[in-house]
A and B are shown apart, each in its own frame.
Chain A
Amino acid sequence: MNAPSPALVAPRPERLRLVGQRRQLLAVMHQRLMFGMLVYAGVVALIALRLLYLAAFGDHAGRKEGLTALVPERGDIVDRNGDPLARTIDAWTIAIHPNKVIGDKLALARKLAELMPEQSAEQYFAILRSGRPFFYLRRRASPSLVEAVNAIGEPGLAIQREPDRLYPQTTLAAHVLGYTDIDGHGVAGMERAFDKYLSEPATRNEPLALSIDSRVQQALEHELSDAMAKFSAIGAAGVVMDVRTGEVLAMTSLPEVNPNSPGAATPEARFNRATQGVYELGSTFKPFTVAMAMDSGVIKSFGQQYNCPQVLAVYGHLVHDTHPFGRICSVAEIMEESSNIGTAQIADQLGTQRQKMWLGKMGFTGPVPIELKERGRALTPGVRWGPFETMTVGFGQGIAVAPLQLAMGYATLFNGGIYHPPTLMKVGPGHPLPPGKRVFSEETSYRMRALLRLVVMKGTGKKADAPGYRVGGKTGTAQKLINGHYSQTINITSFAGVFPMDEPRYVIVAMLDEPKATKDTYGFTTAGWNVAPVVSGTISRIAPMLGVQPDMNREPDMSQVMPFVHDTKE
C-alpha cells in the first residue's frame, strides 16, 4: 500500500508535460507583464514629456483665449478713403426663457409692456405662458433699456451681447452696400456679392475697400433727392465714375432703403435702378452714334450736312423732333439741338451691322458688368433689329440700358476710347486695374469733347454747366413705355456729363423717373430743365473734392465745332 507511487519514482509523462506548460505559461506571463509595463512606462513617459512640453511652451492656467487679435465677426466695408460704411458691433439683445421664469408672470408682462411698448401686456403674457424655450424680445437694445430690464431681476430674462451689423452712414450708398439677414449673411449688394470674403475668418480681418467716395456719394444723393422731391419724380438714379479706371465713385438709387432696417423698405425701394433697372435713355445715346459714324468714316467733319426737315418719313414711320430745324444742318447743330431726324440719318448711314458691333464692344448688349448680383441686362431690338430699329437705337429708343452702362459708355468714349468694366472695388495695390480694350480711336475720343461741350455751352444742356469746371454732356428725354405705348406726357429724363471736358476725368449720369413739370420749369419736363441742374449742383460740390481745378479760361478745342453752328438766336 505504501509502495511509492510510480509517479514519485519517475515523473509521470503528463506531469512533465505540465511542467513544460507552466514554464511556457510563465514565459508568456512575463512577456505580457513586460509588455504591460512598457505600455505603462510609455504612457507615463508620454505624460511626462507632455508635461515638460507644456511647461516649456504650453499655455498657462491664467491664459485668456480668443482675444489675441481683434477679428470682427464679419468684415468691415469701408469707402475708398477708409471711412467705415458697414461694421459689426456687439449689440445688446434682450430675450426671455419663458420656462425659467419664476416670478409672477402677469406682473412681469406688465413691466415688460411698460419698458418695451411695441407689444402689449397681453401679448407679453401670452409669450410667457406659451411654454416655448426661448423668445427674442428686442435686438439692438439701448443700454438704458438693458439696465432697466436687468433691474427687474427675473432670472428667466436673458440679456446678452450679439454681433450686429451696423451701417453708420444709414442710407448712404445703401444699394451698393446692400444689407444682411438676421443671421449676418449678406442678402443684397456688396454684402451679398462678397459674403464669403466678409465672413471667412481668414479674410474678414481686412476690410473690404470699395471704390465709393462717401462725400461724393452724399453730394450726389442729396442733389438727386432734392430734385426728386422738387419734381415729384417716382424714382431717380445717379452714377459718378472715374473715366480712366472704371471705378464707381458714387452710385445711388432712389427712393432709398435704410440697410439698418431693410425689412421696413418697400420692394420698390430695394430695387436698384442704377444697375437692375434698364431704361430707354433717349438722346444721351446720340454721341455714341456720332462717334461710331466718325470712327467708321461715315462722318468726316462736324460740318457735314444733313437735311433736317420738320418730319422725317422713313421705312413706314415718322420721326419727329422737339425743335425741328426744317433746313439743312451740320452734325454740330444736330448734337446741339438734339435732333432725332439728323441722328436717325447718321445711324442709317452707319448701318445695322456696324451699330451692333459697336454696341457689343461697348458692353451695351449683355448684362451689366459689375460685381453686384442685382444687375439687369440691356434690352435690344433683338431679332427685329432692322434699318428702322437702327435709326431709333441711334437716338436712344428701342434700346434699354442701365444708367451704370450709360456711364460706362461715356467713360469709354471720353477716356481715349478704351473700355474698362465698371468696378465697385477700389483700384489699388490689392486690386490692380485690368487691361482695357480699345473701342473708339483716340482721335474720335478727342474730337467728341468739343461736341459735347457745345451742347452744354449753347445747346439743350445749358443748365448743367458748372462755371469753371468745363462740363460737357448730353441731355436725354425719353418717353416712357406704358402698356406697350410711348406716353406723350410721362418721361424719363437723364443727363450724362463729363468733366473737365478739356481733359476728361469723371463721368456723371443722373436720371429722374417721371418728373413732373413745375412753375420753375415753365411746364417743361425735359431733361434740360429738371436733371441738368442736378448735374451742375453735384459737379460744383464734388469737383473740388476730386481735385479738379476750376479754370474760367480753359476750354476744349472748340474750333472743331464752332464754325459749323449756325446761330439762329442772335
Chain B
Amino acid sequence: MSSRSFRSVFMVASCAGAALGCYLVSLRVASERAALEDVEMRIVLAQRDLRVLQTEIGTRGRLSQLERWNAGAFALSAPAADQFLKGSFELARLAQPERKIDFQAPVVLASAPAPEPHRPAVGEAETDDSGAPAAVPPSELLREASLKTETREVPARRVVELPSTTVKSTDKPATAAKPVSTRSLEKPGLAAAHPTGHNPTVTTASKQPAVAAIPSMKKSVDKPVVASTKPVTKPVRIAKVDPLAPLAARHSGNPKDSTADR
C-alpha cells in the first residue's frame, strides 16, 4: 500500500537522482576541460614569451652584429684549405712529431770513440756514490751506454769535452794499472819529490791520509773490467791515491771536494 502510494515519489526521486548524476558528470567533464584549456593557454603564453625572447636574442645577435664583433674582437676567419683533414689517418699523422735532421750536430763515428767516453763518465758517477763497490759498475755501464746511444746528437758534444779532462785519467789506469801499485809503495818518497815540481795543493792532497784517497783510487781502478775480480785486494791499493791526486788537481778541485765530503 505504502509502496504503491510512494511509488511516484520514488520515481521522481530516482529521476531527479539520475538527472543530478548526469549533471554532475557533465560538470566534472566541463571542469576537466576548463583545466585543460588553462594548461593549453599557459602553453600558448609560454610559447609567445619564448618567441619574444628568441626574437630579442636573434635581433641582438644578428649576423651583421656578429660580423662587427668578429672584426673588432675575435678576428676569426674561415679555415684555409690545408686545415681540413680527410680522415683519422691524417689526424694521426699530425700527432706524431716530425723527425728533423739537425745539420749542426757533430758527426759521430759509429766505430771507435763511442765506448771510451763512457768510462770516465761512469767513474764520476761512482765518485758520487762514494762507497759503491766494484759489483755495481757493470750494470751501470750498461745503462749509461744505452742512454747515450739513444740520444746521440745532443750528448755527443759532452762526449767530446769529456775526453780532454777525463780521458787522461782513464788512460792512466788502463796503462798504469801496474804502475799504480808501484807508485803506491813509493808514495811517500814521490810525494816528497813531487812537491817541488808540482803545485802545493797536490802536496796537501798527498799528505792526507790514505783513507781519504781510497775512493779516488777506486774510481780509476774500478773502471777496468778486471776490478770485479779483485775486490779483496782493493784495500791494498788504497794507498795509491796520491799518484792520482795530482791529476785530480789539474781538473780543478774535484778530488778535494770528494775528499772533503768524506
Interface set of A (CB-CB < 8 Å, partner B) = 55-56, 60, 62-64, 67-70, 83-84, 87, 89-90, 166, 168-172, 214-215, 218, 222, 466-469, 540-541, 544, 549-552
Contacts and interface: CB of A to CB of B under 8 A. Distances in A.
Given A67-B41, A222-B67, A467-B80, A55 B58 contact: no
Contacts of B54: 84
A60 B32 CA distance: 11
B62 interface: yes
Given A55-B23, A87-B55, A222-B67, A64 B48 contact: no
B26 A549 contact: no
A521 to B, nearest CB: 23
The 6 closest A-B pairs by CB, nearest first: A468-B81, A550-B81, A218-B63, A168-B59, A168-B58, A541-B78
Nearest to B58: A168
B64 A172 contact: yes
Contacts of A222: 64, 67
A67 B64 contact: no
B40 A214 contact: no
Interface of B: 23, 26-27, 29-30, 33-34, 37, 40-41, 44-45, 47-48, 51-52, 54-55, 58-59, 62-64, 67, 78-82, 84, 86
A469 B62 contact: no
Nearest to B83: A550
A291 B130 CA distance: 92
Contact of A214 (B59, B63, B78): B63
Contacts of A172: 62-64
Contacts of B52: 89-90
A67 B63 contact: no
A177 B178 CA distance: 104
Nearest to A56: B26
Contacts of B63: 169, 172, 214-215, 218
Given A56-B26, A60-B30, A68 B84 contact: no
Nearest to B48: A70
Nearest to B43: A70
Contacts of A469: 81
Given A56-B26, A170-B62, A222-B67, A67 B44 contact: yes
Given A55-B26, A544-B79, A62 B48 contact: no
Contacts of A56: 26, 29
Contact of A540 (B59, B64, B78): B78
Contacts of B81: 466-469, 550-552
A335 B144 CA distance: 71
Given A55-B23, A544-B79, A550 B84 contact: yes
10 contacts: A55-B30, A64-B41, A67-B45, A68-B41, A70-B47, A84-B54, A169-B62, A218-B63, A468-B80, A468-B84
B37 A63 contact: yes
Nearest to A541: B78
Contacts of A67: 41, 44-45
B34 A60 contact: yes
Contacts of A168: 55, 58-59, 62
A64 B33 CA distance: 12
B47 to A, nearest CB: 5
A63 B40 CA distance: 12
Question: Considering residues A83, A89, A467, which has the most beta carbons from chain B within 10 angstroms of its beta carbon?
Answer: A89
A68 B86 CA distance: 51
Contacts of B26: 55-56
A170 B55 contact: no
A172 B41 CA distance: 35
A166 B55 contact: yes
Nearest to A69: B44
Contact of A68 (B40, B48, B67, B80): B40
A171 B64 contact: yes
Contact of A70 (B51, B59, B80): B51
B247 to A, nearest CB: 64
A549 B51 CA distance: 36
B58 A84 contact: yes
A241 B133 CA distance: 85
A48 to B, nearest CB: 12
Contact of A468 (B29, B55, B82): B82
Nearest to A537: B78
A288 B179 CA distance: 101
Contacts of A69: 44
Given A84-B55, A468-B84, 12 more contacts: A62-B34, A67-B44, A68-B44, A89-B52, A90-B52, A166-B59, A170-B62, A171-B64, A172-B62, A172-B63, A468-B80, A550-B81
A218 B82 contact: no
A60 B33 contact: yes
Contacts of A551: 81
Contacts of B27: 55
Contacts of B84: 468, 544, 549-550
A70 B45 CA distance: 8
A428 B97 CA distance: 48
A549 B79 CA distance: 11
